[in-house]
Structure 1
Amino acid sequence: MSEPIAQVAPAPADPLGRLLDVLSRLLAIVGGLLLVAMTLMATYSIAMRALFDEPLLGDVELVQMSCGIAIVFFLPLCQLRRGNVIVDVFTLHASAQVRNGLDALGGLLMALTAAVLAWRSVVGTVDAYGTGEESIIMGLPIWWSMTAFAPGFALLALVALYTAWQDFRGKGQSI
């Protein structure tokens, strides 16, 4: 027996939702391009190691930094399109009003968490800049990769507030 294919919510129709959708998609595209670049770089490094015993030094550092950025950049679109994992065992037979209320609460908690992470990302970036912390092999300043976290988490906070508001009004697009 085949499993049903998971569905995600369509793009929002209201102006604020469309703006958040465009910003979220732009971040996700940048995250995807980062992953493609890291894949190509890792492939190059592996090929150079296998063929000429000359790997690209620091490739692991770059992959770690870029993957962290990419993950943060995917989160707002995932939240907006309701792509997060939802365990509905306890609410399967609950009314739409109860489910919307719980989804709104979840959105508010996500917004709060994302806002705290954005704030702490700024603090961490400033601290890493101030201490001059660098990666071990390449000597890259750590703060440059950390600068991308705050905007990603800030957009996630805004998107989560938007989805919470939609759920609170009963206009959420839960699938």
Structure 2
Amino acid sequence: MARRTLGEGKNVLRFMTGLARGMALTGGLVLVVLVILTCVSVVGRGLSTLGHSDFLQGMSQSLADLILATGTGPVNGDFEIVEAGIAFTIFSFLPICQLFGAHATVDVFTSFLSRRTNAFIITFWEIVFTGIVLLITWRLFYGLEDKFGNGETSLLLQFPIWWAYLAAFIAALVAAIVAVYCAVGRVMELTTDQRWLPRSEGAAH
């Protein structure tokens, strides 16, 4: 029975690890797209400003006209896209940070404490963090329902606001699932002295 329980625990950990890594990769891809979009928008805005500048028009009107003829300028609605995308990526990276204990920590006041005491502190904050993530996820769902019901759209691109809420909610839901697993795992580690979570890949506890 003990071996079966241990095997099932490893399967759950493997699933959670794959889920967290998948969300992180998805968030990373979205972040890369947002970076490229921002760069294109900044370059376009810069070229448009240069084309309208008195300096370039005085130096070479034909070059200024050529730049303006290309229709360069900022990407329409770039701020709206980045705002929605960043919200998604933030929640996308939470699961893997939580699972591998990669959040930044400050142990100035706890480094002198015993390993058992530190384990208790980590477990306590793990449970608190899980409660916060669950609260945020619930409020995102409430916001999703509200935005879906009132049909609110963005100012420039006119895309439904609930799209952004849905993306953030899905990522937050995964973060909540992983957070609950981590909280349970920390409690089990504290009470059984067996490792239930992967070793930290981030800041040392």
Bin the TM-score by the shorter chain.
0.7 to 0.9
For residues 17 and 110 of structure 2, the distance between their equivalents in structure 1, rounded to whole angstroms, comes to 28
CA contact (8 A) 1:103 1:164 kept: no
Deviations 1:22-64 (A, max 9, x none): 1111111111111111122222223333154432210111011
For residues 138 and 156 of structure 2, the distance between their equivalents in structure 1, rounded to whole angstroms, comes to 29
User: Which stretches of structure 1, 4 residues or longer, exceed 6 Å deviation after superposition?
Assistant: none
1:143 aligns with 2:162: yes
Give the fraction of aligned pairs with identical amino acids, expressed as a percent: 29
**Matching residue of 1:18:** 14
Name the SS of the counterpart of 2:112 in structure 1. Answer: coil
CA contact (8 A) 1:110 1:157 kept: no
Higher Rg of the two aligned structures: 2
**Matching residue of 2:5:** none
The partner residue of 1:101 within 113, 120, 123 is 120
Name the SS of the counterpart of 1:103 in structure 2. Answer: helix
When structure 1 is superposed on structure 2, of 39-48 and 78-87 the one drifting more is: 39-48
For residues 151 and 100 of structure 1, the distance between their equivalents in structure 2, rounded to whole angstroms, comes to 30
What is the Cα deviation at residue 105 of structure 1?
1.0
Aligned residues: 163
1:163 aligns with 2:182: yes
For residues 44 and 156 of structure 2, the distance between their equivalents in structure 1, rounded to whole angstroms, comes to 18
**Matching residue of 2:135:** 116
Deviations 1:98-149 (A, max 9, x none): 1111111111111111111111111101101111111111111110011022
The partner residue of 1:33 within 29, 47, 50 is 29
- Which structure 1 segments of 5+ residues have no match? 1-12
CA contact (8 A) 1:32 1:70 kept: yes
For residues 173 and 145 of structure 2, the distance between their equivalents in structure 1, rounded to whole angstroms, comes to 17
The partner residue of 1:59 within 58, 63, 78 is 78
- Which structure 2 segments of 5+ residues have no match? 1-8, 48-66
What RMSD in Å do the two structures reach over aligned CA positions?
A: 1.8
Instruction: Name the amino acid aligned to 1:31.
Output: G
1:74 aligns with 2:70: no
TM-score by length of structure 2 reads 0.73
CA contact (8 A) 1:91 1:99 kept: yes
For residues 105 and 87 of structure 1, the distance between their equivalents in structure 2, rounded to whole angstroms, comes to 15
**Matching residue of 1:48:** 44
TM-score by length of structure 1 reads 0.84
